[in-house]
Structure 1
Amino acid sequence: MGEAKHRSEKKRGIRMGLGTQQEQFNKAYVRAIVVQAEFNPSELGVYGDSVIWSLVIVFSC
């Protein structure tokens, strides 16, 4: 019984918490929208519960 439990835990691997999953999804969503608008996003840091972003326009010649 103990060995079966160990195998099932090993298959699961490391799991993210729901809050972390939502945070990663939100960051990916913002990046996808910003890139489609031809900006270059860069995350500068975290301020309290907020994330500070910098957007730079990308010119193509």
Structure 2
Amino acid sequence: MPDGTPNTPTEIVHVKTRSVSCDGGNGAYGHPKVYLKITGAQITCPYCSKLFILEPGSVDHSH
């Protein structure tokens, strides 16, 4: 952010897979759908700052 304030998540979502998608919600007021891959324990959407947290013990079944 221009004023130096850190991005705080707009929403926190707990997921069971490493592959997630985000469109910002709110229909036409959202953002382009992006597909994100969680490589550690969490990832933040670059458009809306939604935070996706991988649940402990989750298994990745994607290829």
Instruction: Say whether the fold is shared (TM-score over 0.5).
Output: no
**Larger radius of gyration, structure 1 or 2?**
1
What TM-score results when the alignment is normalised by the length of structure 2? Answer: 0.20
Greater helix share, structure number? 1
Q: Which has the higher contact order (CA 8 A, sep 6+)?
A: 2
